[in-house]
Structure 1
Amino acid sequence: MPLLSKTRFGRTSLLALMCCSINANAHFLELLPSTDIVATPQQAKLQFSMKFTHPMSQGPLMNLVHPTQFAVVGPMGKQDLLSTLQAQQQDKQQYFTADYQIKRPGDYLFYAEPQPYWEPAEGKMIVHYTKVVVDAYGMEDGWDTELGLPTEIVPLTRPFGLWTGNLFQGVVKRNGQPVPFAEVEVEWHNDGSITPPSDPYITQVVHADANGTFSYVMPKSGWWGFAALIEGEQPMKNPDGKLVPVEQGGLIWVNARDMK
Structure 2
Amino acid sequence: MKQYLVTASFAALMAATPALAHYGMIIPNDPMISQEDGRSVDLTMSFSHPFELDGMMLDKPAAFSVTHEGNTTDLLGGLQDATVMEDQGYTLEYRLDRPGTYVFAMEPKPYWEPAEDAFIIHYTKTYVTAYGDDEGWDTELGLKTEVVPLTKPFGLWEHNVFQGIIKMDGEPVPYAEVEVEYYNEDLSATVPDELMITQTVKADADGVFTYAPPSSGWWGFAALNTADYTILEEGSGEEKAVELGAVIWVHFEEWTGN
TM-score where L is the length of structure 1: 0.89
Q: Does 1:183 align with 2:177?
A: yes
| Deviation sequence 1:1-27 (CA, Å, 0-9, x none) | xxxxxxxxxxxxxxxxxxx746x1100
Tell me the SS of whatever aligns to 1:245.
strand
Q: Which whole-Å CA distance do the structure 2 matches of 1:44 and 1:33 have between them?
A: 13
Which secondary structure does the structure 1 equivalent of 2:115 belong to?
coil
Q: CA RMSD in A?
A: 1.6
| Structure 1 match to 2:191 | 196
Report the Cα distance in structure 2 between the residues aligned to 1:193 and 1:80, rounded to whole angstroms. Answer: 36
Q: Which 4+ runs in 1 deviate beyond 6 A?
A: none
**What code does the residue aligned with 2:153 have?**
P
- In the alignment, is residue 112 of structure 1 matched against residue 106 of structure 2? yes
The question of 1:58 aligning with 2:53 is answered yes
Structure 1: which 5+ runs fail to align? 1-19
- Show CA shifts across 1:72-110 (max 9, x none): 000371111001111123576311111101010011010
Which runs of 5 or more structure 2 residues have no equivalent in the other structure?
A: 1-15
- Report the counterpart of residue 13 of structure 2 in structure 1: none
**Counterpart in the other structure of 1:45:** 40
Mapped to 2, the partners of 1:238 and 1:41 lie a distance apart of 50
**Count of aligned residue pairs for this structure pair:** 240
* Mapped pair 1:158 → 2:161: no
Partner of 2:239: 243
Query: Which amino acid in 2 is paired with 1:133?
Result: Y
Aligned-partner Cα distance in 1 for 2:45–2:234: 23
**Match of residue 215 from structure 1:** 210
Q: CA 1:106–1:90 in structure 2 vs 1: closer, same or farther (change >3 Å)? A: closer
Q: Deviations over 1:103-160 (max 9, x none)?
A: 1001101000000000001100000000000011122111111100011100000000
The answer to whether the 8 Å contact 1:75/1:104 transfers is no
Comparing 86-95 with 27-36, greater Cα deviation is found at 86-95
Structure with higher Rg: it is 1
Query: Do 1:75 and 1:105's aligned partners in 2 also have CA atoms closer than 8 Å?
Result: no
Query: 1:185-209 deviations in whole A, cap 9, x for unaligned?
Result: 0000002111222111100000000
Counterpart CA distance in 1 for 2:84 and 2:181 is 21
Alignment partner of 1:128 out of 119, 122, 127: 122
Q: CA deviation at 1:244?
A: 0.3
Asked if 1:206 is matched to 2:201, the reply is yes
Amino acid in structure 1 at the alignment position of 2:249: W
Question: 1:202-251 deviations in whole A, cap 9, x for unaligned?
Answer: 00000000000000001111000000001011011123232000000000
Amino acid at match of 2:221: F
Q: How does 1:28-107 map onto structure 2 within 5 Å?
A: 28-59=23-54, 61-75=55-69, 77-89=71-83, 93-107=87-101
Q: Is the 8 A contact 1:114 1:127 kept in 2?
A: yes
Match 2:248 to one of 240, 247, 252: 252
Change (3 A) 1:41 1:82: farther
Gap change, CA 1:226 and 1:90, over 3 Å in 2: closer
